[in-house]
Amino acid sequence: MGQSIAPIIIGIVIVLAIAVAVLIFLLVQLQKKLRIFMNGKDGANLENTLSDLTDKVAGIEQTLQAHKQGLEYIDARVKRSIRGYSLVRYNAYDNAGGEQSFASGLLDEHGDGYVLSVITNRNHVGVYAKKVSSGTPDTTLTTEEQDALNEAKQPLQL
- 103 and 147 share a domain? yes
Measured CA to CA, the distance from residue 49 to residue 36 in angstroms comes to: 13
Q: Which range, of 21-25, 71-75, 79-83, averages the lowest pLDDT?
A: 79-83
pLDDT of residue 57: 93
- 99 and 50 share a domain? no
- 41 and 68 share a domain? yes
- 49 and 107 share a domain? no
- b/e 39-58 (16+ beta carbons within 10 angstroms → b): eeeeeeeeeebeeeeeeeee
pLDDT of residue 76: 87
- pLDDT tens for 85-127 read 999 999 888 776 678 899 999 999 889 999 999 998 878 899 9
- 44 and 67 share a domain? yes
**Higher pLDDT residue, 1 or 62?**
62
Q: What are phi and psi of 27, to 5 degrees?
A: -65, -40
Distances (CA, A) of 87 to 20, 122, 131, 150: 89, 21, 16, 11
Range of the domain at 38: 2-78
Q: Is the pLDDT score of 154 beyond 60?
A: yes
Q: How many CB atoms lie within 10 A of CB 77?
A: 9
Give pairs for 138-145: CB < 8 Å, separation 24+.
141/115, 142/103, 142/117, 144/88, 144/90, 144/101, 144/102, 144/103, 144/117, 145/88, 145/103, 145/105, 145/115, 145/117
- 69 and 8 share a domain? yes
- 88 and 113 share a domain? yes
pTM greater than 0.85: no
Measured CA to CA, the distance from residue 79 to residue 111 in angstroms comes to: 10
- 9 and 48 share a domain? yes
Domain end residue (candidates: 60, 78, 96): 78
Indicate the pLDDT class of residue 44, thresholds 50, 70 and 90: low
Q: Is the pLDDT score of 63 beyond 70?
A: yes
Cα-Cα end-to-end distance for the chain: 100
Sheet holding 125-133, edge to edge: 84-90, 101-107, 113-120, 125-133, 136-137
- 139 and 101 share a domain? yes
Number of domains in the chain: 2
- 74 and 6 share a domain? yes
